[in-house]
Amino acid sequence: MRLNRYLASCGLGSRRSCETLILEARVAINGEICMDLSTRVQAGDDVTCDDRRVTQREVQVVILHKPLGFTTTSKDEGGRKTVYDLLPPEWSHLRYAGRLDRESEGLLFMSNDGDLINRITHPRHGMEKEYDVYLEKPFLREKKAVLLNGIQIPEGHAKMESVDFITRRHAQVILKQGLKRQIRQMFASMGCPVRRLIRTRIGHLTLDDLAPGRWRALSESQVAGIRKRLS
Protein backbone atom coordinates (compact mmCIF):
# COMPACT_ATOMS: atom_id res chain seq x y z
CA MET A 1 0.00 0.00 0.00
CA ARG A 2 1.35 3.43 -0.93
CA LEU A 3 2.52 5.45 2.05
CA ASN A 4 0.04 8.31 1.64
CA ARG A 5 -2.87 5.88 1.49
CA TYR A 6 -1.55 4.03 4.55
CA LEU A 7 -1.35 7.28 6.54
CA ALA A 8 -4.88 8.22 5.46
CA SER A 9 -6.12 4.82 6.66
CA CYS A 10 -4.55 5.63 10.04
CA GLY A 11 -6.84 8.65 10.31
CA LEU A 12 -4.23 11.35 9.56
CA GLY A 13 -6.30 13.05 6.85
CA SER A 14 -6.80 12.85 3.11
CA ARG A 15 -4.18 11.31 0.83
CA ARG A 16 -3.14 14.78 -0.32
CA SER A 17 -2.71 16.13 3.21
CA CYS A 18 -0.74 12.99 4.07
CA GLU A 19 1.56 13.69 1.13
CA THR A 20 2.31 17.03 2.80
CA LEU A 21 3.28 15.21 6.00
CA ILE A 22 5.68 13.05 3.99
CA LEU A 23 7.27 15.99 2.15
CA GLU A 24 7.70 17.84 5.44
CA ALA A 25 9.90 14.94 6.65
CA ARG A 26 7.51 14.11 9.48
CA VAL A 27 7.07 10.45 8.52
CA ALA A 28 9.51 7.60 9.15
CA ILE A 29 9.49 3.92 8.22
CA ASN A 30 11.48 1.57 10.45
CA GLY A 31 13.26 4.56 11.99
CA GLU A 32 14.28 6.22 8.70
CA ILE A 33 12.71 9.48 7.51
CA CYS A 34 10.90 8.87 4.22
CA MET A 35 10.14 11.68 1.76
CA ASP A 36 9.54 9.50 -1.31
CA LEU A 37 5.85 9.65 -2.24
CA SER A 38 6.11 6.41 -4.22
CA THR A 39 7.14 4.39 -1.15
CA ARG A 40 4.97 1.40 -0.31
CA VAL A 41 4.35 0.16 3.22
CA GLN A 42 5.03 -3.54 3.64
CA ALA A 43 3.65 -5.95 6.24
CA GLY A 44 5.62 -5.59 9.46
CA ASP A 45 6.87 -2.05 8.74
CA ASP A 46 6.95 0.33 11.70
CA VAL A 47 5.52 3.68 10.58
CA THR A 48 5.69 6.84 12.67
CA CYS A 49 4.51 10.42 12.21
CA ASP A 50 6.08 13.11 14.39
CA ASP A 51 7.82 10.27 16.27
CA ARG A 52 4.53 8.63 17.19
CA ARG A 53 3.67 5.17 15.89
CA VAL A 54 0.60 5.04 13.67
CA THR A 55 -1.50 2.03 12.78
CA GLN A 56 -4.43 1.45 10.47
CA ARG A 57 -7.84 1.96 11.98
CA GLU A 58 -10.85 -0.20 11.38
CA VAL A 59 -12.84 1.87 8.91
CA GLN A 60 -16.14 3.05 10.33
CA VAL A 61 -18.87 4.49 8.13
CA VAL A 62 -22.26 5.68 9.34
CA ILE A 63 -25.15 7.26 7.49
CA LEU A 64 -27.42 9.51 9.53
CA HIS A 65 -30.79 11.06 8.77
CA LYS A 66 -30.22 14.57 10.10
CA PRO A 67 -33.42 16.17 11.39
CA LEU A 68 -34.25 19.86 11.61
CA GLY A 69 -32.71 21.89 14.42
CA PHE A 70 -29.37 20.08 14.67
CA THR A 71 -26.08 21.71 13.69
CA THR A 72 -23.49 19.80 11.67
CA THR A 73 -20.53 20.44 13.92
CA SER A 74 -18.75 18.67 16.75
CA LYS A 75 -19.46 21.50 19.23
CA ASP A 76 -21.88 24.39 18.97
CA GLU A 77 -20.80 27.58 20.76
CA GLY A 78 -24.44 28.52 21.31
CA GLY A 79 -25.14 25.26 23.11
CA ARG A 80 -27.50 24.03 20.39
CA LYS A 81 -27.93 20.34 19.63
CA THR A 82 -25.46 18.84 17.14
CA VAL A 83 -25.59 15.72 14.97
CA TYR A 84 -23.16 14.09 17.42
CA ASP A 85 -25.89 14.16 20.06
CA LEU A 86 -27.69 11.59 17.89
CA LEU A 87 -24.75 9.15 17.84
CA PRO A 88 -23.24 6.88 20.50
CA PRO A 89 -20.45 8.65 22.46
CA GLU A 90 -17.80 6.31 21.04
CA TRP A 91 -18.46 7.74 17.55
CA SER A 92 -17.70 11.32 18.50
CA HIS A 93 -14.47 11.11 16.45
CA LEU A 94 -16.27 10.55 13.13
CA ARG A 95 -16.02 13.29 10.51
CA TYR A 96 -18.86 14.31 8.20
CA ALA A 97 -18.81 14.60 4.41
CA GLY A 98 -20.68 17.72 3.38
CA ARG A 99 -22.29 19.95 5.97
CA LEU A 100 -26.06 20.38 6.22
CA ASP A 101 -27.12 23.65 7.84
CA ARG A 102 -29.37 23.72 10.90
CA GLU A 103 -32.50 24.34 8.81
CA SER A 104 -31.78 21.46 6.40
CA GLU A 105 -32.51 17.76 6.69
CA GLY A 106 -31.45 14.49 5.20
CA LEU A 107 -28.56 12.16 4.50
CA LEU A 108 -25.26 12.75 6.26
CA PHE A 109 -22.24 10.53 5.57
CA MET A 110 -19.80 10.13 8.47
CA SER A 111 -16.54 8.19 8.76
CA ASN A 112 -13.16 7.99 10.49
CA ASP A 113 -11.48 7.57 7.07
CA GLY A 114 -10.16 10.98 6.02
CA ASP A 115 -9.40 9.86 2.47
CA LEU A 116 -12.91 8.51 1.98
CA ILE A 117 -14.41 11.76 3.30
CA ASN A 118 -12.25 13.78 0.90
CA ARG A 119 -13.21 11.66 -2.11
CA ILE A 120 -16.90 12.14 -1.39
CA THR A 121 -16.72 15.89 -0.79
CA HIS A 122 -14.16 17.14 -3.33
CA PRO A 123 -15.77 18.26 -6.62
CA ARG A 124 -13.03 16.66 -8.73
CA HIS A 125 -14.41 13.22 -7.87
CA GLY A 126 -17.85 14.15 -9.23
CA MET A 127 -19.91 12.57 -6.45
CA GLU A 128 -23.60 13.37 -6.96
CA LYS A 129 -25.74 14.71 -4.13
CA GLU A 130 -29.50 14.79 -4.65
CA TYR A 131 -31.95 17.06 -2.83
CA ASP A 132 -35.69 17.59 -2.52
CA VAL A 133 -36.24 21.35 -2.51
CA TYR A 134 -39.51 23.04 -1.52
CA LEU A 135 -39.88 26.74 -2.38
CA GLU A 136 -41.77 29.60 -0.76
CA LYS A 137 -42.95 30.88 -4.16
CA PRO A 138 -43.71 29.28 -7.54
CA PHE A 139 -40.65 29.06 -9.81
CA LEU A 140 -40.82 30.02 -13.47
CA ARG A 141 -39.71 26.87 -15.32
CA GLU A 142 -38.35 28.91 -18.20
CA LYS A 143 -35.62 30.16 -15.84
CA LYS A 144 -34.34 26.63 -15.23
CA ALA A 145 -31.43 27.19 -17.64
CA VAL A 146 -30.03 29.86 -15.33
CA LEU A 147 -29.64 27.28 -12.56
CA LEU A 148 -27.89 24.86 -14.92
CA ASN A 149 -25.56 27.46 -16.43
CA GLY A 150 -24.63 28.81 -13.02
CA ILE A 151 -24.96 31.86 -10.77
CA GLN A 152 -22.27 33.81 -8.95
CA ILE A 153 -22.66 33.57 -5.17
CA PRO A 154 -20.22 34.68 -2.43
CA GLU A 155 -18.62 31.19 -2.42
CA GLY A 156 -18.01 31.20 -6.18
CA HIS A 157 -19.69 30.16 -9.42
CA ALA A 158 -22.53 27.85 -8.40
CA LYS A 159 -24.33 25.54 -10.80
CA MET A 160 -26.66 22.58 -10.64
CA GLU A 161 -26.08 19.37 -12.58
CA SER A 162 -29.80 18.83 -13.04
CA VAL A 163 -33.10 20.33 -11.89
CA ASP A 164 -36.43 18.54 -12.29
CA PHE A 165 -39.58 20.37 -11.22
CA ILE A 166 -42.24 18.11 -9.75
CA THR A 167 -44.41 21.19 -9.24
CA ARG A 168 -43.56 24.87 -9.46
CA ARG A 169 -42.77 24.81 -5.73
CA HIS A 170 -41.05 21.42 -5.54
CA ALA A 171 -37.80 20.56 -7.33
CA GLN A 172 -35.36 17.65 -7.31
CA VAL A 173 -31.82 18.99 -7.60
CA ILE A 174 -28.51 17.20 -8.22
CA LEU A 175 -25.20 18.86 -7.32
CA LYS A 176 -21.59 17.85 -7.80
CA GLN A 177 -20.34 21.00 -6.09
CA GLY A 178 -20.59 21.63 -2.38
CA LEU A 179 -20.54 25.40 -1.88
CA LYS A 180 -21.86 26.80 1.38
CA ARG A 181 -25.67 27.08 1.34
CA GLN A 182 -25.48 26.70 -2.43
CA ILE A 183 -29.04 25.67 -3.19
CA ARG A 184 -30.56 28.22 -0.84
CA GLN A 185 -28.46 31.06 -2.25
CA MET A 186 -29.16 30.11 -5.87
CA PHE A 187 -32.92 30.03 -5.50
CA ALA A 188 -32.96 33.12 -3.26
CA SER A 189 -31.06 35.09 -5.90
CA MET A 190 -33.94 34.32 -8.29
CA GLY A 191 -36.62 35.48 -5.87
CA CYS A 192 -37.68 32.02 -4.65
CA PRO A 193 -36.50 31.40 -1.07
CA VAL A 194 -36.21 27.76 0.00
CA ARG A 195 -38.80 26.65 2.55
CA ARG A 196 -37.53 23.09 3.07
CA LEU A 197 -34.36 21.28 1.93
CA ILE A 198 -33.77 17.53 2.22
CA ARG A 199 -30.68 15.67 0.98
CA THR A 200 -31.96 12.29 -0.20
CA ARG A 201 -28.91 10.74 -1.87
CA ILE A 202 -25.09 10.78 -1.88
CA GLY A 203 -23.74 8.71 -4.76
CA HIS A 204 -25.63 5.42 -4.59
CA LEU A 205 -26.47 5.81 -0.88
CA THR A 206 -30.04 6.84 -0.08
CA LEU A 207 -32.14 7.48 3.01
CA ASP A 208 -34.45 4.54 2.22
CA ASP A 209 -36.56 3.98 5.33
CA LEU A 210 -34.12 5.65 7.74
CA ALA A 211 -36.23 7.85 10.04
CA PRO A 212 -35.14 11.37 11.09
CA GLY A 213 -32.61 11.18 13.92
CA ARG A 214 -31.73 7.55 13.20
CA TRP A 215 -28.42 6.20 11.91
CA ARG A 216 -27.10 3.02 10.31
CA ALA A 217 -23.53 1.65 10.24
CA LEU A 218 -22.39 0.30 6.87
CA SER A 219 -20.87 -3.15 6.52
CA GLU A 220 -17.35 -3.83 5.21
CA SER A 221 -18.77 -4.95 1.86
CA GLN A 222 -20.80 -1.73 1.56
CA VAL A 223 -17.70 0.35 2.32
CA ALA A 224 -15.74 -1.65 -0.25
CA GLY A 225 -18.47 -0.88 -2.79
CA ILE A 226 -18.14 2.84 -2.09
CA ARG A 227 -14.36 2.68 -2.58
CA LYS A 228 -14.83 0.83 -5.87
CA ARG A 229 -17.16 3.52 -7.20
CA LEU A 230 -14.65 6.21 -6.20
CA SER A 231 -11.59 4.51 -7.66
pLDDT digits (tens, 9 = 90+) for 54-73: 987 778 899 999 999 999 99
pLDDT of 56 reads: 79
pLDDT of 144 reads: 95
pLDDT of 159 reads: 96
List the chain residues with pLDDT less than 70: 231
pTM of the model: 0.79
Q: Are 179 and 166 spatial neighbours (Cβ–Cβ below 8 Å)?
A: no
Between CA 107 and CA 3 the distance in angstroms is: 32
Residues ≥6 apart with Cβ < 8 Å to 79: none
Are the folds of 61-123+205-230 and 128-202 the same? yes
pLDDT digits (tens, 9 = 90+) for 64-107: 999 999 999 988 778 899 999 999 998 888 999 988 999 999 99
Between CA 7 and CA 27 the distance in angstroms is: 9
3-state secondary structure the chain: CEHHHHHHHCCCCCHHHHHHHHHCCCEEECCEECCCCCCECCCCCCEEECCEECCCCCCCEEEEEECCCCECCCCCCCCCCEHHHHCCHHHCCCEEECCCCCCCEEEEEEECCHHHHHHHHCHHHCCCEEEEEEECCCCCHHHHHHHHHCEEECCEEECCCEEEEEECCEEEEEECCCCCCHHHHHHHHCCCCEEEEEEEEECCEECCCCCCCCEEECCHHHHHHHHHHHC
pLDDT of 12 reads: 85
Q: Using alpha carbons, select from 159, 149, 203 the residue that is nearest to residue 185.
A: 159
User: Angle, nearest 10°, between helix axes 15-23 and 114-121?
Assistant: 120
Torsion of CA 47, 94, 126, 175, to 10 degrees: -160
pLDDT of 41 reads: 94
- Distance between alpha carbon 215 and the CA centroid of its chain, in Å? 16
Q: Domain-by-domain residue ranges, the chain? A: 3-53, 61-123+205-230, 128-202
**Range 3-53 has CATH code 3.50.50.60:** no
Name the CATH code of domain 61-123+205-230 (choices 3.50.50.60, 3.30.70.980, 3.30.70.580, 3.30.1360.120): 3.30.70.580
Between CA 68 and CA 106 the distance in angstroms is: 9
pLDDT of 9 reads: 80
- Find the length of the chain: 231
Which CATH homologous superfamily contains domain 128-202? Alpha-L RNA-binding motif (3.30.70.1560)
Q: Are 27 and 48 spatial neighbours (Cβ–Cβ below 8 Å)?
A: yes
Active-site amino acid positions:
101
pLDDT of 133 reads: 98
pLDDT of 116 reads: 85
